[in-house]
Every structure is written in structure tokens, then in C-alpha cells.
Amino acid sequence: MTKTLHHRACHLCEAICGLTLETTETDGQGLAITSIKGDTLDTFSRGHICPKAVALQDIQNDPDRLRQPMQRVGNEWQPIAWDDAFALVAERLADIQARHGQNAVAVYQGNPSVHNYGLMTHSNYFLGLLKTRSRFSATSVDQLPHHLTSYLMYGHGLLLPIPDIDHTDFMLILGGNPLASNGSIMTVPDVEKRLKAIQARGGKVVVVDPRRSETAAIANQHVFVRPGGDAALLFGLLNTLFSEGLTRDSHLPVDGLDEVREAVATFTAEAMSPLCAVPAAQIRQLARDFAGAPSAVCYGRMGVSTQAFGTLCHWLIQVINLVTGNLDRVGGALCTEPAVDLVATTSGGHFNRWQSRVSGRPEYSGELPVSALAEEMLTEGEGQIRALVTVAGNPVLSTPNGRQLEQALDGLEFMVSVDLYINETTRYADLILPSTSALENDHYDTTFNLFAVRNVTRFNRAILPKPEGALHDWEIFVGLAKAFAARTGKELKPTMPPAKMIDFGLRSGAYGDASTHKLSLATLFDHPHGIDLGALKPNLAARLKTENQRVQAAPAVILADLVRFAALQAPKPDELLMIGRRHVRSNNSWMHNFHRLVKGKPRHQLLMHPDDLASRGLVDGQRVTVSSRVGVIEVEVLGSLDMMKGVVSLPHGWGHARPGVQMTIASGQPGSSANDLTDDCQLDELSGNAALNGVPVKVAAA
């Protein structure tokens, strides 16, 4: 029996915790994972681990996980050889594009893409050849407003200021629940200790959320806000900062501050209060507390990204940090300087250069809002989408109006999914191409090192051998690209393995050959616990990519959106709005088939305030119907004093009871999909991001 210890960053969420995995090789029985623990020698994550990482062994051993390419023949799934699968994809997509044009083939890239560096480096090797404008991804059900705001204000969609959580004296969190999510657009392992450290050094944490979340429960102050009302609250804060003289000069070169001041002149706390359901006095006091703290940072996440005013919210957050002198300042919001720097090496992005065919939604950096995907498939005419490539995504459960999308998928001429499972989406595919599992692959986090609360870097080798006949995701894309290029006579540039690209990125980056750190892949091989490159520091002035190298505080398209905001009405007495939530023992739309992760009481229920239950004659635990403009679901309801009145909370990613899904749900409870209720017509119209929070619903006894 041989035991071996391996060190590796976890790829399952944005916190990139260091893990120590033990494998045991037993004669005759091969190699098994025998222990997964937090890596105490990782100075960034300091031994932190959550239940998801423990379930890594379940992903590895899961009998439901596909291990070879599968082709659907009628209602049966049959194995197919890799080369035959590649040739078939090339033939079908080339044919559809020849008959219906390039945009007739669409692409959806899902969340795990950004956690898998081979997908980051190589998916476009194939997808780029398709030259289609029908590109969609999880970005437009997630963080699109962050990118758009940074693109407009700082000139690059990835130049995102990150809360300097380890040094701040005041952290104002809107619509984020890092105690459940482990942090997002803020890579912050061990976040609970870091939040408590703010309090221990005399600082404050304030959480704004329509639900008393796990994070709100440990905060110094929790402010209930009406779903979708955050822009009003933030306008009230900004107006108070200006009108009470609470602003501080910034060292940054800034254009447009006078326009901002003018634009918000009538948005007093008193005027905004009815729209967000926060008392005016509380808004004013919050502004004073924020401005009065030695350092402070305002941070917003899912709750304020995926709502009707997502971009206004993120712009206001930037402006509040800016006018209080907290942008690009220690203890405020700072831009990470990663070892492999995508900001330095890529163009800043583009916006609204073209629009979607049916509803005229704007593109952002070559992608269209995924809310428009189904209508682009269902609406006949030139440019109609007839084929789909999905990559690491499950849009039937993850994007608004999932039932409509299912209808659309059913009508496609061809669909191929690069995925590990036959799930709610891939069951519509003609072919599923499954990659190796994560532990069979080496790992470098190209994305989340970019948003980390310290500058860190780490490369880890595969822990388990690559099974015979298996391919990594990046190799699948090389195979598809070669087959498609051969079929269509397109020229294919040579490529190299992802690790080589990382080596190149490290050497040419700020800590590479020319610097004192002299980072390369070889250096990282010698540091399996990762390398800490230091705390974040002010750098924004030098990294701005706007045309005149100045911060644009008042982008025209954002100020134009104030017209839409002006139409926001105070709530009617019977208003009932649905919001989402996450739990540390659940992960988006997958991993629900792992007992180690989902064990314990079920967590897919609808949460509702007891008064809202009573007024409808409902009781705790009963089955109810929840209906919206687009659909009806049935689910159990739980009474919860943590909910704001007039608001219900339902997590997404459930709803596995669909025919043909081949995943054994560990709890035996498939739940219902929140996205059978969310509305593809409800968006942040400025960015096209889906408004998943603040969906009007009705709840009645089932």
C-alpha cells in the first residue's frame, strides 16, 4: 500500500482554497482518494475547506459521470469513437452553416468553464472557427454589469476593483452572501474569519439583503431592502454624500463628477426611501457611517447584479467608493495584479456593436444576453438559430424561462454538449463529449487569481492518471477544431498545451523574467502550496485603459438609463417578489447527486415570512404552487422570520425530475427549478443581464 500526499487548489468555486489530498495505491485495487483536507501551508486559504471540496472524490467516482463520448440514437445513448464524434460534429455544423449562415450555430458556455483553465485557453480554438455572433454564456445571468461598468469607467471589462477586505474598516455588502457562496468577484478563501477580523479591529460589516442571510447574521448591521430597490438605496446614499459634504478627493484622474452630482441632485434619501423600503434616516446614517470610517468599501454581488437595475447598481457602487476616496486605496477597493494578467494582454472589450435579431439586445464583447437564446431559436426568419454547442453548462436550469428553452432545444436540427452528465440540458443533445475529471487534469486558475484579495499564484499537476482513451476538455476542442477545419477547408493555426501558455503568461507578466520574482511554470512546480505575491496596492491610475487614461465617472449610456429608473414605482400592497439564494452544500445546477455534499435536511424549499403565509392561509411545510408570468411550479414552503415581508426566496439549480436525466439525486428530492419562473423578458435592459431577482410571483396552496 502506498500513500501519497498532493497539494492542489480547489476549482469548485471562486475561493481557490488550497487542498491536501491523499491517494492510496493498493495492490490489485489501483489508486483511490483516501483523504481531502484544507492545506494549512497555503498562506492564502490557511487550511480553509468547505463541504464541496470533500465531494471532489464523488465527482471522481460518480457512476453517473460519462467516461466516453455518447451519441443519442432515438431515445438510446450509445458510445461513439472520438474521431467519429468529431467528424459528425464538423459535418453537421458545417452543413447547417452552409445552409443557414454562420449565426445559425449558437454557443452557450457555462460556469465551470472559468474554473477549468484548458477550457479558458482552448475552447475558442474551435468555437472561434464557427465565426458566429450567436455566442451566449453564464456571464449574462451573472456578472455582466460588473464587466460593463468597468469597461465604461476604466476602459477594460476585467479591471474590477476588489474589496480590500483584510485592511478595510467598513464593509458594505449588497446582495452577496459570502458565507454561503464563499465569495464572488472577490476571491477570498476563509471569508468568515476575514469578516470577523474587520470587527475584531474595530470595524463594521453592514449587509443589505431582503433576507437575513448567513452573512447578515454575523454582520454589525443588516438592512432589509426591497428586491430590485438597491439602485434607489445607492442613489440615496450618493445624494447624501454630496449634499451633506461627506465626499473626499480622489488621487485618480476623473472626468464627469459634476455631471454625476447634477444627475442625482433630486435623488434624496427621502425621495428614494419608498422605492427601496429603507427609512430615509437609515439611508442618511449609513452614508455618514461609510464616509466617516477611516477606510471603507462598498461591494455588491448576485443580488444587485441580476436585477432590473444591475448596471446602475454597480456603477453607483464604483462612484460611492470613488467620491469617498476609497477607490484605489488601501482598505477600499483595489485592482488585483495577477501573475498572468489578462488586463494587460487583452483589449478592453466592446459594447452594443450589434444587437440580437429578435429583441435587439446589445452584445457585450461578442456575447449576446442568454435571456434571448430561446427566442432566437424559436422565431423563424433569416438568422434563426438551428444548432447549439453547449460547454460546461446547464442552461435549462440556469437561465430564465427554462421551459421555453427546452421547447427550443427540442426543435434544433443539431446539438452537441461538452459535458460530464446527461442532465436537464444535455438530454437534448445529439452528442455528449465528456472530458477527464478535474483531478485527472493539471490546474491553474486563469480567472480567479485576477479577482483575488491578495496577489497569489499557483499551478498544480494532475493527481490521478488520465484514463486510457480519455481526453481533457482542451484536447476535445483541438479535436473538434481539426475536424471542422478539415471539413470546411479553413486554416488552423498551431496551438500548444495550456500549461505552456501559462508558462508564457507567467514569464511575460509583471512577476516574470524581467522582475525580481522571475516567475515561470518551473517556479510554480517548486511551490505546490502556491506563492503569495503580496497585498493589493493602488495601481489603477497606471492601468486605466480608457481613451484619455482618466476614470469616466459619468458614462453616457449609464446616465441615459436614469430614465428607466425614473419609472420605478413604490411597491403595491400585494407585491410578492421572488429572489434566489445559495447554500454551502449545493452548487449551481449540478453536484446534487453527491451524498457527501447534500446530506442533511433538504434545502430546495421556498422561504416565506410567517405573516405572508398566514395571510394566504398557508402553513409551514405544506406544498404550494408558485406562479409567474412564464410558468408554475410546485414546491414545499417554509416559514422564515429571516425573510422580508413581501419576498420569497427559492434557490436555483434544482428541478431534476425531468425525463431522461441520468443523475441519481442523493437526497431523493429533485426540487423545482426557480428558472421555470424567472422571466426571459425581465432584464437589466442596459446590459441585457437577466433579472433573476425581484420576479413577481403568486403563491397558493397546491
Ligand X SMILES: Nc1nc2c(c(=O)[nH]1)N[C@H]1C(S)=C(S)[C@@H](COP(=O)(O)OP(=O)(O)OC[C@H]3O[C@@H](n4cnc5c(=O)[nH]c(N)nc54)[C@H](O)[C@@H]3O)O[C@H]1N2
For β-strands 254-255 and 551-552, DSSP reports them as parallel
Which residue among 6, 7, 16, 154 contacts ligand SF4 (CB under 6 A)? 16
Which residue among 70, 127, 130, 225 contacts ligand X (CB under 6 A)? 225
Question: Closest distance between Mo ion and the C-beta of residue 111, in Å?
Answer: 5
CA 345 to chain centre: 22
> Can you list the pairs that 477-480 forms with residues at least 24 positions away whose Cβ atoms lie under 8 Å?
477/119, 477/122, 477/123, 477/125, 477/126, 477/127, 477/418, 478/122, 478/125, 478/126, 479/82, 479/83, 479/86, 480/86, 480/89, 480/90, 480/126, 480/433
> Position 362: which residue type?
P
332 scored as a contact of ligand X (CB under 6 A) = no
Taking CB within 5 to 8 Å according to partner kind, which of ligand SF4, Mo ion, ligand X, none is near residue 219?
Answer: none
Site for ligand SF4 in 168-207 (CB under 6 A): 182, 189
388 scored as a contact of ligand X (CB under 6 A) = no
Helix axes 230-243, 280-292, angle to 10 degrees: 60
d(CA 70, CA 77) in angstroms, rounded, equals 6
Taking CB within 5 to 8 Å according to partner kind, which of ligand SF4, ligand X, Mo ion, none is near residue 189?
Answer: ligand SF4
Question: Closest distance between ligand X and the C-beta of residue 213, in Å?
Answer: 4
> Minimal CA–CA distance to 402: which of 433, 424, 434?
424
d(CA 6, CA 56) in angstroms, rounded, equals 14
Residue spans of beta strands (DSSP E) within 475-593:
531-535, 551-552, 577-579
377 scored as a contact of ligand SF4 (CB under 6 A) = no
Which residue among 6, 7, 8, 15 contacts ligand SF4 (CB under 6 A)? 15
153 scored as a contact of ligand SF4 (CB under 6 A) = no
Give the other-Cβ count within 10 Å of 510's Cβ: 18
Extract the C-alpha cell encoding 512.
516574470
> Minimal CA–CA distance to 207: which of 194, 191, 193, 224?
224
Question: Closest distance between ligand SF4 and the C-beta of residue 553, in Å?
Answer: 34
> Minimal CA–CA distance to 455: which of 338, 329, 344, 332?
338
Which residue among 14, 62, 142, 473 contacts Mo ion (CB under 5 A)? 142
Which residue among 209, 328, 503, 684 contacts ligand X (CB under 6 A)? 209
Question: Closest distance between ligand SF4 and the C-beta of residue 53, in Å?
Answer: 3
CB closer to Mo ion out of 238 and 397: 397
Closest residue (Cβ) to Mo ion? 142
Question: Closest distance between ligand X and the C-beta of residue 661, in Å?
Answer: 11
Question: Closest distance between ligand X and the C-beta of residue 30, in Å?
Answer: 22
The answer to whether 541 and 251 are in contact (CB under 8 A) is yes
User: Does residue 674 sit in helix, strand or coil?
Assistant: helix
Read out DSSP for 157-174?
TT--EEE-TTT-SEEEEE
The answer to whether 108 and 393 are in contact (CB under 8 A) is yes
Site for ligand SF4 in 40-69 (CB under 6 A): 49-50, 52-53
Question: Closest distance between ligand X and the C-beta of residue 33, in Å?
Answer: 17
Which residue among 205, 302, 480, 576 contacts ligand X (CB under 6 A)? 302
Taking CB within 5 to 8 Å according to partner kind, which of Mo ion, ligand SF4, ligand X, none is near residue 392?
Answer: ligand X
Extract the C-alpha cell encoding 16.
481557490
d(CA 169, CA 187) in angstroms, rounded, equals 19
Which residue among 6, 7, 8, 12 contacts ligand SF4 (CB under 6 A)? 12
Residue with cell 459619468: 554
User: Does residue 209 sit in helix, strand or coil?
Assistant: coil
Closest residue (Cβ) to ligand X? 303
Question: Closest distance between Mo ion and the C-beta of residue 142, in Å?
Answer: 4
Question: Closest distance between ligand X and the C-beta of residue 526, in Å?
Answer: 27
Extract the C-alpha cell encoding 466.
488520465
Which residue among 10, 106, 120, 141 contacts ligand X (CB under 6 A)? 141
> Minimal CA–CA distance to 491: which of 79, 17, 125?
125
The answer to whether 299 and 453 are in contact (CB under 8 A) is no
Taking CB within 5 to 8 Å according to partner kind, which of Mo ion, ligand X, ligand SF4, none is near residue 579?
Answer: ligand X
Percent of the chain as helix, strand, coil, to the nearest 5: 35, 20, 45
- Rounded to 5°, angle at Cα 141 from 139 and 144: 45
334 beta partners: 162
Residue with cell 445571468: 141
Site for ligand X in 412-451 (CB under 6 A): 418-421, 423, 435, 438
Site for ligand X in 114-133 (CB under 6 A): 116
CB under 5 A: which stretch of 138-146, 310-318, 350-358, 599-607 binds Mo ion? 138-146
Taking CB within 5 to 8 Å according to partner kind, which of ligand X, ligand SF4, Mo ion, none is near residue 16?
Answer: ligand SF4
Length of the chain equals: 702
Where along the sequence are the contacts to Mo ion (CB under 5 A)? 142
Where along the sequence are the contacts to ligand SF4 (CB under 6 A)? 10, 12-13, 15-17, 49-50, 52-53, 182, 189
Where along the sequence are the contacts to ligand X (CB under 6 A)? 13-14, 52, 110-112, 116, 138, 141-142, 174-178, 180-182, 184, 208-211, 213, 225, 227-228, 230, 301-304, 307, 392-395, 398, 418-421, 423, 435, 438, 473, 579-582, 584, 586-590, 649, 652-653, 674-675, 678, 692-694
